[in-house]
Amino acid sequence: MTSINNELLLDLSRRLIQLVTFDPPGNELPAAQLVASVLADYDIASELQSIGPNRANVVARIKGAGQRPALIFSAHLDTIGVEEEQWSVAPFGAEVREGRLYGRGATDMKAALAAMAVAGIALQQQRGSLQGDLILAFSAAENSSCLGAKHMLDSGVLKDAGALLISEPTSLDVFTAEKGALWLRATAKGEYGHNAFSEDRSGDRGSAILRMAEFLCRVRDLSIDAPAHPLLGPPTVNVGLIEGGISFPLIAPICTASIDVRTVPGLDTDAVIEQFRAIAGEHVTIEFLDLKPPVDTPTDHPFVEQCVAAVRDERGVQPVVTGVPYYTDGAVLAPALGIPMVIVGPGEVGKSGSVDEYVELAKLEASARIFLDIAQRYLA
């Protein structure tokens, strides 16, 4: 029986963590090249897809007999930034301490990517028994609105896929649904002037900032009706960024606010946008920026059952099957390809981007065995 190379798994995880791939700006190319080089050492050819300066996806396909649709292993190379002074360990030292691997990306999600790559290497050794292909789809720019995943779709490298496995943090439970993200920009227009000569103004005094403030109070009280979902809960709204004004004495001619709405299956996004427009008032306009749709794979889908069985057999307990409020590359890939999505990863839920981010080595090694088992069940 094919086994996982745990030495390779730890080495690749550490080398990936030691590379700085903050998004923005990304700089994922060296990480993509590292993964491609390791795969090549085991006779797995890969393609580097440039998505911008020093940014690249890495995609590989382990060929089967073509009798079943392909399975996608999905993970991303980029991370969020760090404030090093808050860490008790070096963020890029990839230090192993008391059974944990520390560093930025240890949880989200360089170690999980390494586990998928090493599981793919193990599967390569038994490719003669595979009825379908395994696609290793490791993206750049997940934090930049999933630009790397969008490029993969446009390039056609994911054609013929029948299922999608993502290794975002789940604490080795099984997530089958994720909220979507609707991004809007509100723009308030004001009447430019100088405060020294504004005695005749009243109310909002023509200030775009005050007009935006009044609109945001209405956003605070906005209730978005949505179908109940057993795994995801209700939609949520956040105003994440406000920009406006010129200087202290000048009445602001423009002010913008960036709004994130976490959506759930069955919610009409056009109706949500109209709700915001209905409360905007005469001085505020609402602009659509982006939509990552929610993803919902039925818990009784055969692919879900295969993933649950693989996790149960490895852990010896029935995993929790649930959903998550974050979105992944699955929001781009699963709806476009019309395929089921499942998320299973070794990272701890809630530790993404945290200070002293870590992954437990026992869960990391278990995840690679789980990924291999899922691939064998689906493709063999």
How much is the pLDDT for 228? 87
Task: Indicate the pTM of the whole model.
Answer: 0.93
How much is the pLDDT for 129? 87
Task: List the domain range (segments joined by +) for residue 243.
Answer: 180-292
Q: Is residue 38 part of a domain?
A: yes
311 and 358, same structural domain?
A: yes
Residue (of 321, 327, 362, 361) closest to 344 by Cα position: 321
Which of 292, 308, 343 delimits the end of a domain? Answer: 292
Q: Is residue 353 part of a domain?
A: yes
How much is the pLDDT for 1? 53
Identify the CATH number of the domain in which residue 45 sits: 3.40.630.10
Q: Is residue 1 part of a domain?
A: no
232 and 102, same structural domain?
A: no
92 and 40, same structural domain?
A: yes
339 and 320, same structural domain?
A: yes
204 and 73, same structural domain?
A: no
Which of 227, 262, 292 delimits the end of a domain? Answer: 292
129 and 25, same structural domain?
A: yes
Total number of domains in the chain: 2
Mean pLDDT for back-to-back runs of 10 residues, the chain (380 residues): 90 98 96 98 97 97 96 98 96 98 98 98 90 97 94 96 98 98 98 92 94 98 92 96 96 97 96 97 97 96 98 98 95 97 96 96 98 96
Identify the CATH number of the domain in which residue 267 sits: 3.30.70.360
| Per-residue b or e along 221-233, where b marks 16 or more CB atoms closer than 10 Å to that residue's CB | eeebebeebebbe
147 and 121, same structural domain?
A: yes
72 and 11, same structural domain?
A: yes
Which of 239, 266, 292 delimits the end of a domain? Answer: 292
Name residues whose C-beta falls within 8 Å of residue 221's C-beta, 6 or more positions apart in sequence.
Answer: none
Helix then strand then coil, % of the chain, to nearest 5: 30, 25, 40
CA pseudo-torsion sign 36, 40, 43, 47:
positive
How much is the pLDDT for 315? 97
201 and 312, same structural domain?
A: no
Q: Is residue 81 part of a domain?
A: yes
How much is the pLDDT for 142? 96
Calpha distance 126→64 (Å, rounded): 10
265 and 136, same structural domain?
A: no
SS3 200: coil
233 and 220, same structural domain?
A: yes
How much is the pLDDT for 380? 86
Q: Is residue 304 part of a domain?
A: yes
232 and 101, same structural domain?
A: no
